[in-house]
Amino acid sequence: MNESRNEHFSKMIRTAIEPIGVQELKKDLWHQAQVKLPQAGISVSVFDWVLATLVVILSFFVPEAFLVLLAHL
Amino acid sequence: MEKQMELLERFTTGDVEAFETLFQQYQKNVYGWIVRIVRNPTAAEELTVETFWRVYRSHARFDATRSFEAWTRRIATNLALDYLKRARNEVEFTENISFESPTDPATRQDTRKQIQEAFNQLPPKLRLTATLALVEDVPYEEIAESLGIPVGTVKSRVFKATRLLRSKLRELGGEL
């Protein structure tokens, strides 16, 4: 393929499909993004849930252990 | 410069205020990039929000000494590519523009439709690269950086896309 042929082809494409170029964003998207953010703030990992469950079970069978745990917090 | 560095470091710790500042700084840039690929303002807005959501989720992995813009653009490009894959037959080039020298308007109109059709049939990766390189005239280096691939790969994709477009146009009986 020679250069002039490529140039002609590129020109044809640009004539058929209009370049968008620099397009302005018409609104602030922060509010849309913010909707997703609180989910991140309260997300609790599986590990945390397992740990919390173990503490509850332990406190039920060995209530003294809960006091020991509190003393360490 | 130091303030920006401090902002990025705060962002890496998950600071929402720092993230909001970065969001305000870069949302136009990210949107402008995505809309050139997906060519649909509504989809581009959604993908911009999704890009920043992913950016926020990955805050701990970000290296504050590197370019936030380049990192964000790469995430945006990958999301735009996923969009093209999902909506392969829905994203169409249908812009109406007039030709500079319509010597034979009917033939020109046909050729334009054939080019649009051929473009719509390109595989998503080639379509993304060809859109940026051939339609939007984005430098190869910029495309390579946004995709995280070598410039040589971009050139090769543009070459493949051009070859496919020529072949498709020949099939459709278009003039080359």
Question: The domain spanning residue B55 has which CATH number?
Answer: 1.10.1740.10
Portion 9-68 of B in contact with A at CB < 8 A? 16, 20, 23-24, 27-28, 31-32, 35-36, 39, 41, 45, 48-49, 52-53, 56-57
Residue B73 lies in a domain: yes
B8 contact A CB<8A? no
CB contact under 8 A, A30 and B24: yes
* CA dist., res. A9 & res. A12, Å (int): 5
Q: CA-CA distance, B77 to B72, in Å (whole number)? A: 9
- Mean pLDDT confidence for B125-130: 96
Q: Indicate if B8 and B77 belong to the same structural domain.
A: yes
> Is the pLDDT at A3 greater than 70, yes or no?
no
Nearest residue of A to residue B28 by CA position? A25
B142 and B75 belong to one structural domain: no
Q: State how far the Cα of B74 lies from the Cα of B34, in Å rounded to an integer.
A: 11
The domain of A50 spans 44-73
Q: Are residues B11 and B61 in the same domain?
A: yes
Is residue A11 within 8 angstroms of chain B, CB to CB? no
> Looking at residue B150, which CATH number applies to its domain?
1.10.10.10
Q: What's the burial of B87, exposed, middle or buried (CB within 10 Å: 0-12/13-18/19+)?
A: middle
B54 contacts: CB under 8 Å, gap ≥ 6: B75, B79
For residue A36, give the DSSP letter: H
Q: Which domain holds residue B45?
A: 2-86
Please check whether residue B121 touches A, CB under 8 A.
Answer: no
Facing B20 at nearest CB: one of A1, A23, A30:
A30
What is the ipTM score, two decimals? 0.75
Q: Considering only CB atoms, which chain A residues are within 8 Å of B176?
A: 9, 12
- Token reading at B148: 């995280």
- Whether A51 maps to a domain, the answer reads yes
Decide if B54 is inside a domain.
yes
Residue that has been written with the tokens 């523009």 in this structure: B97
Does B66 share its domain with B131?
A: no
CA distances to A38, A53, B67, B68, B103 from B12, in Å: 17, 31, 13, 11, 58
Q: Does residue A67 form part of some domain?
A: yes
pLDDT band of residue A38 (cuts 50, 70, 90) is low
Q: Which pLDDT band holds residue A11 (cuts at 50, 70, 90)?
A: confident
Residue A58 is assigned to a structural domain of this protein: yes
What is the pLDDT averaged over residues B152-157? Answer: 97
Contact A20 B115 (CB under 8 A): no
% of chain B with per-residue pLDDT over 70: 86
- Per the CB < 8 A criterion, the answer to whether B11 and B17 are in contact is no
Query: How far is the alpha carbon of A4 from chain B, nearest alpha carbon, in Å?
Result: 12
Between residues B112 and B129, the one the model is more confident about:
B129
Residue A14: pLDDT band with limits 50, 70, 90:
confident
Q: For residues B28 and B41, what is the distance between their CA atoms, to the nearest angstrom?
A: 12
Give the confidence band of B55 by pLDDT, cuts at 50, 70, 90.
Answer: very high
**Residue of chain A whose alpha carbon sits nearest to that of B101:** A15
Give me the number of domains chain A comprises: 1
C-alpha B145/C-alpha B157 separation (Å) is 14
Average pLDDT, chain B: 88
Does B112 lie in the same domain as B47?
no
Asked if the model's pLDDT at residue B43 lies above 80, the reply is: yes
In chain B, % of residues over pLDDT 90: 70
Q: Does the residue B120 lie in any domain?
A: yes
- Asked if the Cβ–Cβ distance from B136 to A40 is below 8 Å, we say no
B134: in domain: yes
DSSP B60: G
